[in-house]
Amino acid sequence: MSKKIFSGVQPTGNLHLGNYLGAIKNFVELNNQKDNECIFCVVDLHAITTKQEPKELKKNIRETAATFIASGIDPKKSIIFNQSMVPAHSEGAWILSCVSRIGWLNRMTQFKEKAGKDKEKASIGLYSYPVLMAADILLYDATHVPVGDDQKQHLELCRDIAQKFNNDFNAPGFLRFPEPLIQKEFSRIMSLKDGLKKMSKSDPSDLSRINLTDDKEQILNKIKKAKTDPLPMPSESNNLSQRPEVENLLGIYSSLVNQNLEKSMYEFDGKNFSEFKEKLSEILIEKIEPISKEIKKLLNDEKYLDGILLEGSQKADKIASKKIREIKELVGF
């Protein structure tokens, strides 16, 4: 069955191994499957829910598009565009925010994490961010949405919003319920410094993550400094959850070589950490360094990247503007 795929990545800089293994690697596989229609969006409207420096934002929009292409998404086969170029996203988000309930948004754990203690000072955009995300997906009748584990709750909310819109406007089946595509294993990559914290763009320590623009030396250094524990390499998964850093590093290795955790444990059983780290760095360099080099090369050609985004947004606009017209008609505008 052919799938309609939609997913997005925020252009907030420091795209990292978590973004790659949790989402972008999956985008590439979906792009390569014959019958899929894929749309990959640089979600710049989402980015401004926290303060962005305009010049940096412009650079990061291009860098995110470059990361998609450098990772293997073919812009001739998939649509790559940035959200702010297609007005239907903002319009859709407003209309859907009028069917969404405050109680639903109050349950969103990501808002609580991002807003932190001082949630009165968070932007309204940060709070209603999942409604914009729902608009992104529903405008394209996406059937499948590949994301990392942290976006699961937002996708459940998207289905609730679609259902309420369809009920309120007596339009059964009009907004299509999307299926999340979350990998069974390794869908949450953790910080290299703290196995209980998600690897994140906003972690102040650059040593906590492998950036997709890191070079060989940086990768080697970060893996060398990655936290482990004094115990030997584990031979079974029983008490691995009590060793989150080790579990995470083994998970990263397994995901990169496409094998399950058990197999990786068997491979390193009885060996010491330095040997494991050496292998891990090797595979990381093999997979990430070519992407990093290609991103840098593409960034030198702003005209090319802007052309891809323009062409992509024209294609996306055709689809989204039709859907938003139908939405407006149902609402009574």
Q: Which helix (H) or strand (E) holds 42?
A: strand 37-42
54-71 helix and 302-331 helix, angle to the nearest 10 degrees: 100
Closest CB to ligand TYM among residues 194, 304 = 194
Q: Considering only 16-24, 213-221, 252-260, 273-281, which stretch makes contact with ligand TYM by CB under 6 A? A: 16-24
Smallest separation, CB 11 to ligand TYM (Å): 8
CA distances from 84 to 42, 50, 306, 321 (A): 9, 16, 13, 13
Which of 3-11, 116-124, 284-292, 295-303 is the region at the interface with ligand TYM (rule: CB under 6 A)? 3-11
Closer residue to ligand TYM, CB minimum distance, 43 or 298: 43
Compute the least distance from the CB of residue 18 to ligand TYM, in Å.
Answer: 3
Q: Which is nearer to ligand TYM, 197 or 296 (CB)?
A: 197
Q: What minimum distance in Å lies between the beta carbon of 147 and ligand TYM?
A: 4
Cα distance between residue 3 and residue 146, in whole Å: 11
Residue 208 binds ligand TYM, judged by CB under 6 A: no
* Site map 149..188 versus ligand TYM, x via CB under 6 A: -xx-----------------------------------xx
Instruction: List for the chain the helix, strand, coil content (%; round to 5).
Output: 60, 10, 35
Contacts with 298 (C-beta within 8 Å, 6 or more apart), sequence order: 66, 69, 70, 304, 305
Scan for tokens 């503007």, then name that residue: 321
Size of residue set near ligand TYM by CB under 6 A: 24
Please name the amino acid found at residue 309.
L
Supply the residues annotated as catalytic.
114, 198, 201
Could you tell me which of 155, 127, 79, 121 has the C-alpha nearest to residue 309? 79
Return residues touching ligand TYM (CB under 6 A). Answer: 6-10, 18-19, 22-23, 43, 46, 133, 136-137, 145, 147-148, 150-151, 187-189, 198-199
